Structure 1
Amino acid sequence: MFPDSKKTKQDINQNSVQNLISKGTKIVGTFESEGDIRIDGIIEGEVRTPGKVVVGKTGEIHGSLESSNAYFEGTLKGKLTLTETLTLKPSAKIEGEVIIAKLAIEPGAIFNVTCDMKNTTKDIKGDSKAQKTTK
């Protein structure tokens, strides 16, 4: 009985799994995960996850990042695509192209990018209430 309930719990909490790229680790290529990722090392290439990505002070991404949310204390040089929020702490350094829904920047962060902020509200044709909420 426990193995079945444990399996179900793991399936439900799949996005709560966190992968750690430690300081001193370098990955070259594509890194994909179904769960959250914390990066304190260096990744050269692509990072993709439906979860959250945290880049610590020593963390670097040289390439592209696709995820739902990202929290940066470290560096990104390349393309960043998020479906939700980008949070930049004072030590963050972002250079390149950014496509996001929401942005939070603390004083001191470096944000040298072309930025496209996507509207997260869905438009429903013919529904005047939906049109009022998007304005």
Structure 2
Amino acid sequence: MAFSNNHTLISRGTKVVGDLHFTGDLQIEGTVEGNIIADSGNDAKLVVAEKGSVEGEIRVPMVIINGNVTGNVFSSKHVELAAKAVVEGNVHYQLIEMIKGAQVNGSLVYSGAGSTKKLSSPESAEESGADVKAVANT
């Protein structure tokens, strides 16, 4: 997928402390300690690169993770968990793709179009899913 003209990069060696609101595309190769929220539209995309890490909640329509995330992930469109992804938290998704090697230590919660679950409800993980430790090794 090509990045739009509205692209933000948190480079290696950079640490952001506090909530991060963005539009367009955000690529994290450094560290973010805070929540990441897409401000407008359904076209926002977050990429957490292999060396990138996030400690906080993620609320973005399209998420690609290949680094470490400690916190819940809420996606209204698509989540891709790449081979080196490690998520310590619940993943709320409409479409999910897990590549061999990806790890999720938490619940996988389907929030599709026909689902009654809302992405804004933090309790939905407890209501709908059993705890999952998924490791795609096969």
Same fold (TM over 0.5): yes
In structure 2, C-alpha distance between the alignment counterparts of 1:121 and 1:114, rounded to whole Å: 19
Deviations along 1:21-72, whole A, 9 cap, x unmatched?
Answer: 0000001111111221000000011111150001101110001111011111
Report the equivalent of 2:85: 92
1:88-127 paired onto structure 2 within 5 Å: 88-121=81-114
Report the equivalent of 1:10: none
Asked if 1:27 corresponds to 2:16, the answer is yes
Displacement after TM superposition at 1:113 (Å): 1.4
In structure 1, C-alpha distance between the alignment counterparts of 2:12 and 2:58, rounded to whole Å: 19
Counterpart among 49, 68, 88 of residue 61 in structure 2: 68
More strand by share: 1
Report the equivalent of 2:29: 40
Counterpart among 52, 57, 82 of residue 75 in structure 2: 82
TM-score (normalised: structure 2): 0.74
Amino acid at match of 1:72: I
Gaps of 5+ in 1: 1-14, 124-135
Report the equivalent of 1:127: none
**Max radius of gyration: which structure?**
1
In structure 1, C-alpha distance between the alignment counterparts of 2:5 and 2:57, rounded to whole Å: 22
Give the paired residue count.
Answer: 109
Q: Structure 1 runs of 4+ off > 6 angstroms?
A: none
More helix by share: 1
Displacement after TM superposition at 1:121 (Å): 4.5
Report the equivalent of 1:18: 7
The percent identity for this pair of structures is 27
Residues 97 and 26 of structure 1, relative CA distance in 2, 3 Å threshold: same
Displacement after TM superposition at 1:111 (Å): 1.3
CA RMSD after TM alignment: 1.7
Displacement after TM superposition at 1:79 (Å): 1.1
Amino acid at match of 2:53: E
